[in-house]
Chains A and B, each alone.
Chain A
Amino acid sequence: MKWTLLIAIAIVAFAASVVFGPAAVPLSELARSDIVWNLRAPRAVLAFLVGGSLGVAGAALQALVRNPLADPFLLGLSGGAGLGAVSAIALHLTGPWALPLAAFVGALAALGLVYRLGLIGGAGGALDPRILLLGGVAVGAFAAAITTAIVSLADAAELRNAFLWLWGGLSAASWQAVLLVALYVPVPLLVLVAAARPLDLLALGEEPARYLGADVDVVKRRVYVAASLLTAAAVAVSGVIGFVGLVVPHIARLTWGHRHRALLPAAFLGGGALLAFADTLARTVVAPRELPVGVVTALIGVPVFAFLLRRWSIA
């Protein structure tokens, strides 16, 4: 029953993304419209892929770092991506894919650095989730500082506009981008879904999880890398879109509970629907102008988050 409802919501969100927009396309012309096929449709699909990835990554990370307030962007990836993008502009790297590629590389570099930090203190290759969180914040802040320095020292005019890109948006959606993301995303997604049971156990604590049969060290590594890879792709394609990875897992838990086997797919569909819906709003509420989608997800996410906090403190 609840799955039917979620799938229905997802379909409605997708349909709304395709039907509504600042360019008035009458329903009768939807099927023939170049705007619908080449701009709105890939954008809707990309919203699902990115929002879904963020939702799943957020759910998995919250279990991994044992903190229900964890968000995929706490791991320093957005700082690394921003630094990569700004460096690419400052170095005058051209090419239509230069920015996203540089952002992706920057995010991976942050991933590697935080991973390395997370190994400190853990015995023989074991990640310490608390250090992952702290390391992520530190690396993110460090990258942001270098980014600001580059922006203030270099004289490329585009640098100031790069920050707008970082705020998040699906403007760069095309079928090419969709294809790339759709080829990339299944592997880390699969790794996370396969880790569903160990994640359930990990919620009890590392020692109890071990005694219930989870290979805790392996699971931590895999989950961290897979969730980070998903987040890195999301940032490279669409900048930093906050609150999806934080709020969607909690909403999903309200209905599906904490068994990750059901939670992760629900978080995927929920995250996708939320981002598609937010993107539609971003494109239509102040038409012909467009809001950065990160603003819309924050405006939706903050009240929801406050509501969840109240519920959390009651429990």
Chain B
Amino acid sequence: MILTLEDVRYRYPGAARDALQDVSLSVTPGQFHAVLGPNGSGKTTLVRIALGAVPPLMGRADVNGRSASEWSRQELARIVGVVPQREDNLFPQRVRETVVLGRYPHLSLWGRESAADHAAVERALAACDVVGLADRWVWTLSGGEYQRVRVARALAQEPRLLVLDEPGVSLDLKHEMGLFELVRGLVDRHGLGVLMITHQLNLAARFADTVLLLDEGRPAAAGTTAEVLTREVVERVFAWPVAMESVDGRPQMIPLRQSKESRA
């Protein structure tokens, strides 16, 4: 187990209700675990707690068997690579320079980057299929290319666990599919564990192994995609009528339009 959350409860200071309650999950190497839920269901809070940014009020969050908040930032960054939702790069950089930042958790205070560090960067660039972009300025990249570069940076950390927070937002179809394929490939070929926050139900269903569905901070369902993504559960959590189809053996949700009577 790289990451385990047990019965985690959290409430933001001054909030009216819990952001998370009774949430548990675990991620092992070679497992693609998705966390789904409507807006405000507590997904980003879950990431923060998993990574020790905030301690849970009740329950545990452990990384590699040790409480997440006990890890030093640098040690944790050697094990967990995160692609946060937002990044606002202040200065213009080339792709290779920004990916090299992923090696920083491994560098000592005064030491220079070694050949091993550069090799790790090259591997990360190759795994994300962005070697050809290595000398481009980051601001010239398309949204999809930039996202792959950010994943490459996280990979350069040589983590055992990759955490992605809503990585597909603002990507078009082609690039979003490409991203999910990339992540799936990393899990299959490199044995990474992946925790991905997403609201893309169908993509999660196609690519993830296990799913946690959150509803207002509480776990609505957890298990394999087939177990979780049933019509009853989806309709209840998302409060919308859906039909379920099967593609490649995976459930796919199709939202239904309003009933004929209410259509003028």
- Residues 179-211 of A, flagged 1 when their CB comes within 8 A of B and 0 if not, give 000000000000000100100110111011011
Closest to A215 in B: B73
- With a cutoff of 8 Å between Cβ atoms, the chain B residues found around residue A197 in the complex are 104, 107, 109
Assess whether B104 is in contact with A212, with CB atoms less than 8 Å apart: yes
Q: Other than A201-B104, A211-B82, give 11 A-B pairs with Cβ distance below 8 A.
A: A68-B90, A197-B104, A200-B101, A200-B104, A204-B88, A204-B101, A208-B84, A211-B77, A212-B105, A213-B75, A258-B97
B139 within 8 A of A: yes
The 9 closest A-B pairs by CB, nearest first: A213-B77, A213-B105, A211-B82, A213-B74, A203-B90, A258-B91, A205-B88, A207-B84, A213-B73
Q: How far is the CB of B156 from chain A (nearest CB, A)?
A: 10
> Mask for B71-109, Cβ within 8 A of A = 1, else 0?
011111110111010111111110001100110110101
Known: A205-B86, A258-B97. A315 touches B92 (CB 8 A): yes
Give residues 133-154 of B contacting A (CB, 8 Å): 139
8 Å CB contact of A253 from B76, B91, B102? B91
List which A33-87 residues lie within 8 A (CB) of chain B: 63, 66, 68
5 A/B residue pairs, CB under 8 Å, sorted by A: A66-B90, A200-B101, A203-B90, A203-B91, A211-B81
Question: Which chain B residues border A63 with CB–CB below 8 Å?
Answer: 90
Report if A212-B86 is in contact (Cβ < 8 Å); known contacts: A197-B107, A203-B91, A258-B93: no
Cα–Cα distance between A197 and B107 once the two chains are bound (Å): 9
Q: Does B51 contact A (CB under 8 A)?
A: yes
| C-alpha gap A208/B157 in the complex (Å) | 13
Give chain B residues whose Cβ lies under 8 Å from the Cβ of A68: 90-91
**Could you tell me the distance between the alpha carbons of A212 and B101 in the complex, rounded to whole angstroms?**
8
Q: A217 CB to closest chain B CB, in angstroms?
A: 10
Cβ distance B55 to chain A, nearest Cβ, rounded Å: 12
B119 at interface (Cβ–Cβ under 8 A)? no
Given the complex, which residues of A lie within 8 Å of B91, measured CB to CB?
68, 203, 253, 258
A259 within 8 A of B: yes
Which of under 10, 10 to 19, 20 to 34, or 35 or more describes the interface residues of B?
20 to 34
* B126 on the A face (CB < 8 A): no
Report the separation of the CA atoms of residues A204 and B80 in the bound assembly, to the nearest whole angstrom: 18
User: Would you call B87 and A208 a contact (CB within 8 A)?
Assistant: yes
Q: What's the nearest-Cβ distance from chain A to residue B57, in Å?
A: 16
CB atoms of B101 and A201 under 8 A apart: yes
Question: How many A-B pairs fall under 8 Å by CB?
Answer: 70
Cross-chain contact A211 with B84 (CB below 8 angstroms): yes
**Which residues of A lie under 8 Å from residue B92 when comparing CB positions?**
258, 315
Q: How far is the CB of B258 from chain A (nearest CB, A)?
A: 39
Q: Does B53 contact A (CB under 8 A)?
A: yes
In the bound complex, what is the Cα–Cα distance between A142 and B91 (angstroms)?
Answer: 32
Q: Which residues of A contact B97 (CB under 8 A)?
A: 257-259
Contact among A204, A210, A257 for B73, CB-based, below 8 A: A210
Residues of A within 8 A of B109 (CB): 194, 197
Distance in Å from the Cβ of B70 to the closest Cβ of chain A? 14
Q: Which of A203, A211, A215, A253 contacts B51 (CB 8 A)?
A: A211
Q: Could you tell me the distance between the alpha carbons of A214 and B74 in the complex, rounded to whole angstroms?
A: 7
A213 touching B86, Cβ below 8 Å: no
The smallest beta-carbon distance between A134 and chain B, in angstroms, is 18
| Inter-chain contacts of B72 with A (CB < 8 A) | 215
Task: Give the one of B53, B73, B81, B89 with max A CB within 10 A.
Answer: B73
Contact: A212 with B157, CB < 8 Å?
yes
Kindly list chain B residues whose C-beta atoms are within 8 Å of the C-beta of A214: 73, 104
Which residues does chain A contribute within 8 Å of B75, judged by CB atoms? 213
Q: Report the minimum CB–CB distance from A11 to chain B (whole Å).
A: 26
Which residue of chain A lies nearest to B108 when distances are taken between CB atoms in the complex? Answer: A197
Please tell me if the beta carbons of B89 and A213 are within 8 angstroms of each other in the complex: no
A208 CA / B72 CA spacing, docked (Å): 15
CA separation between A212 and B77, bound complex, in Å?
A: 5
Interface residue ranges of A197-248 to B (CB < 8 Å): 197, 200-201, 203-205, 207-208, 210-216
Report A126 CB to chain B, min CB distance, Å: 12
Separation of A204 and B138 alpha carbons in the complex (Å) = 12
B80 contact set on A, CB distance < 8 A: 211
Give bound CA distance, A259 to B104, whole Å: 12
CB distance from B79 to the nearest CB of A (A): 10
Minimum CB distance partner of A200 in chain B: B101
- Measured CB to CB, the closest approach of chain B to A218, in angstroms, equals 9
Q: Which residues of A lie under 8 Å from residue B98 when comparing CB positions? A: 204
Bound state CA distance, A60 and B77, in angstroms? 23
**Distance from A196 Cβ to chain B, minimum over Cβ atoms (Å):** 9
Q: Give the docked Cα–Cα distance between A95 and B117 (Å).
A: 57
Q: Which residues of B contact A215 (CB under 8 A)?
A: 72-74
Is the CB–CB distance between B89 and A204 below 8 Å? yes
